[in-house]
Amino acid sequence: TVSSTTAQTFLGVGGSGAWWPYDLYEFPDDVRANLSAMLFSDNGLGISSYRWNIGGGGVDVTNPVRAPETFYVSSGVYNWSADPQGTFWLQEANSYGVTITGFVNSAPAAMTS
């Protein structure tokens, strides 16, 4: 028997922008638009929370899919055009009103040894 008493509240469905944005960015614009709708719209998966990988990785991580390019160049210097793949999907999620959370798995390579 399933109780009708509420035990918890479901707030939404989340997705992480780690690793896959690099590959999906290579599709033509119309395909990316369809993918965005499938991921973020109420007619698709309806992802309501998106974790954006803001870049990082140790000096030995050379695969760009595993360590997205970071905006950090040096103290007070930033490259805001870094990681166009991740930034594209971030902007798509934002355009659908998705809640955004930034995360890193490591400091930028320049800060690691």
| Residue 22, pLDDT score | 87
Rounded mean pLDDT for each run of 10 residues along the chain, 113 residues in total: 86 87 93 97 96 78 73 89 92 97 83 75
* Number of Cβ within a 10 Å radius of residue 104: 15
Give the chain's length. 113
For residues 54 and 71, the answer to whether their CB atoms sit within 8 Å is yes
The DSSP letter of residue 27 is S
- Locate all alpha helices (DSSP H) within the chain, ordered by sequence: 20-24, 29-40, 84-95
| Nearest partner of 93 among 35, 8, 43, 54, judged by Cα | 35
This model's pTM is above 0.85:
no
d(Cα 33, Cα 27) in Å, to the nearest integer?
Answer: 10
Q: How far is CA 68 from CA 33, 54, 80, in A?
A: 22, 7, 13
